[in-house]
A and B are shown apart, each in its own frame.
Chain A
Amino acid sequence: MPNLAPNTRTAELPFVRLMSRSHLAIGLSFLALYVLLDWVSYVNPFGAFGITPWNPQTGLSFALILLFGYRFVLWPPVALFASDILVRDLALPWGAELLVVFIVGSVYGAAALFLRSSRVGFDPTLSSRPSLLLLMGVATPAIALVAAGHALVLWLYGIIQPDSLREVALRAFVGDLIGVMVFTPFLLIAFSRRRFPAISWEVAGIVLLTAAGLWVVFGFTQAFRFQLFYVLLLPVIWTGIRYGLEGVTFGLVATQVGLIIALELSRQSGPDFVIYQALMMVIAVTVLAIGVVVSEQRRTEQQLRLHQDALYRAARLRTMGEFAGLVAHEINQPLTAIANYCRLAKHAAEQDPPKREEAVSASTEAIAQVDRASAVIRQIREYIRFGKTERSLFAVVPMLQEVVAISRAEIDRHHISVEVSAPADLSPVSADRVQIEQVVNNLVRNAIEALVSAGRSDGRIVIEAKRDSAQTISVSVRDNGPGLDPDLIDQPITAFATTKLDGLGLGLSLSRSIIEAHGGRLEIGSDQHGTTATFTLQVAGARMP
């Protein structure tokens, strides 16, 4: 049985495993990125001591410990201190600065380590709803604690008045929370998964819609800014539904950055800035939830497909096994007789003097048995050729898509892209649908195996159906694999000729028999750019051969 267990956590953290080899490199990269983010996001500070309305660097600190563990717990406070010197020219008195660094370092460190402890069961790839809830549930009180502590320290040192205590705490809270909500999931996903949505027209459309949303909110009119703010939800929800959690984290970062730029350009006042960030927080939580649900559903679907795929293959193998047993028996009979006659001939020839007549007669018998064996093979092919075919009318494209769906799990696992293309007005064909499915499935599996065995990371299969002539439609399955051995292409397609180690080589031979039984042809072409298998089918209404 193939292994049905989806490979989740072990295989999904390649970056992390690769990077955890060098503590210092990660730490210094973190430090540099932290200071850079702090510098970039140092907008609209409150007073001279720099509480800014959004803090992506806090999200970075969380991600660092969640991904790499307790050994990095000292880096965030060090980075905070370094950043305060470099970006803020050490605006606070030494005592206040050290107290803030201590509060931030200990509370955030404790929160992240709590999440990482095995008892909690937090999954840093955010694969399930509980993990997202845990992140929010643990980060929010920790951030509230730090915000309150931060404000208290400023008040103790007489930097702020008691009446602005609440406002300072709120700013610190919103700024850090938005940083964690938007940046931590993005970083966790970026470092634990390899694939983000590819650039496509749809992605371009979403980016355009986000820009349009920002323009509607900030460039269109001054009057309804807050009321119109939720327009920004639309593109991120679209992203979530189409691309799952990976897409959402990406979209949120883009929206947040766009929002900050828009806020700066339209010169918003400090308090309004905080309100926008609070609204953005609501958006972030909403679409993260959507993204997790969509991703979870996708995973379930994929597992189901994997299961179906395995069942289908098991059934196919069983019939193949029975068939192979039958063939072996039919071939073994003449083979046994051939071996016996050859021994008799050898024995007769070895006599002194040689018994010529005996040797000749035994050899003649052996040759007759060889003819018999090849007749058996011919019969098997005839049997398939004239076997019961049940023709029906069906459209080619849905059939092709169904066959691709059967192998979808395997295609995804090997990161192969599959494209089915056909003109919209393609006529239906008249054929035995089950048999044609077998042929297409066989060709697709051959293509997958060729790509996998070549170890290609940019594997691509194109299945193209088109009108070939007035009477026929051609279907071709093309891969960008290494191509076939030139010796093998020139040979006619025969049973038992195979390049695969575990195959009987019957697949292509049977496929050709099926297509020929339908009055079509199956041809294989190959060069260094890949292999193309093309077969033809009769369109509905065409006279059958």
Chain B
Amino acid sequence: MIALIEDDEAVSRSLSMLLAKRGHQVKSYGSAEEFLKALAGNTPLCVVSDIRMPGMSGLELHQHLKRSNPALPVILITGHGDIAMAVDAIKQGAFDFVEKPFDDEQLMTRIHAAIESGQRMRVEHEEKTNLAKRMAELSPRQVEVMELVAEGLSNKEIALKLQISPRTVENYRAWVMEKMGASNLADLVRKVMVLNG
């Protein structure tokens, strides 16, 4: 589903009809506030929002979503004169912007790209949340061991560094592998990278 946020009724109606013709499910909102109210439990694949709107602007909406739904791609639509603003928004992490009046092919391509990227981001985001949950069950010492293992240190080196016996390190290590759901050392290194990234 694509969320379309546009205060101008004619633009909103014509665009949602056009998107529907291309086989997308579209839900349109007259303002950013209205959209945010309906957002909980009903996350769209992609947000297409006008910049100039009464009340919360498109840029403010993007700032808000960056915190609450970081994996949700936002495409901003801009009228003439807002381009500097839109470029700024891209630097802040908005997915893309299109200028009014836009070419529909171009808009479709960008929407598709945004949806794809959103899905990728969502998978990464889910994995990260999952891993963070798993890591919360480890003791501080075990976390330390995990990070040093991911850095490529041997058990002996870790024991020396943390002033504990190599045997304890071995025990911790097995425990970490199991808790984090890592099948081998390479998998664990990747997971630590996801967590830190």
Contact = CB atoms under 8 A, between A and B. Distances in A.
Interface stretch (A35-43, A130-138, A328-336): A328-336
A324 B82 CA distance: 12
B14 A365 contact: yes
Contacts of B15: 336, 340
Most chain-B CB neighbours within 10 Å: which of A325, A334, A340?
A: A340
Nearest to A321: B81
B80 A328 contact: yes
Interface in A357-381: 362, 365, 368-369, 372
A338 B21 CA distance: 16
B8 interface: yes
B175 interface: no
A365 B10 contact: yes
Interface in A300-355: 324-326, 328-329, 332-341, 343-344, 347
Range of interface residues on B (Cβ < 8 Å): 10 to 19
A336 B100 contact: yes
B81 A340 contact: no
Given A329-B52, A343-B18, A337 B80 contact: no
A409 to B, nearest CB: 31
Given A329-B52, A332-B101, A335-B101, A340 B14 contact: yes
A355 B14 CA distance: 17
Nearest to A337: B10
Contacts of A326: 81
B18 A334 contact: no
Nearest to A366: B14
Contacts of A336: 11, 14-15, 100-102
Contacts of A344: 14, 17-18, 21
Contacts of A340: 11, 14-15, 17-18, 104
Given A328-B81, A365-B10, A333 B18 contact: no
B104 A329 contact: no
B79 interface: yes
B185 to A, nearest CB: 55
Contacts of B8: 333, 337
Contacts of B17: 340, 344, 362
Nearest to A372: B10
Contacts of A335: 100-101
Contact of B101 (A339, A362, A368, A372): A339
Interface string B82-125: 10000000000000000011101000000000000000000000
Contacts of B11: 333, 336-337, 340
Interface string B15-27: 1011001000000
A329 B81 contact: yes
Interface in A8-39: none
Contacts of A324: 80-81
B5 to A, nearest CB: 15
Interface of B: 8, 10-11, 13-15, 17-18, 21, 52, 79-82, 100-102, 104
10 smallest A-B Cβ distances: which pairs? Answer: A325-B81, A328-B80, A340-B14, A337-B10, A329-B79, A336-B101, A332-B100, A335-B101, A332-B79, A336-B100
26 contacts: A324-B80, A328-B79, A329-B52, A329-B79, A332-B100, A332-B101, A334-B10, A335-B100, A335-B101, A336-B100, A337-B10, A337-B11, A337-B13, A339-B101, A340-B14, A340-B15, A340-B18, A341-B14, A343-B18, A344-B14, A344-B17, A344-B18, A344-B21, A347-B21, A365-B13, A368-B10
Given A329-B52, A329-B79, A368-B10, 9 more contacts: A326-B81, A329-B82, A332-B100, A333-B11, A333-B79, A340-B11, A344-B18, A365-B14, A372-B10
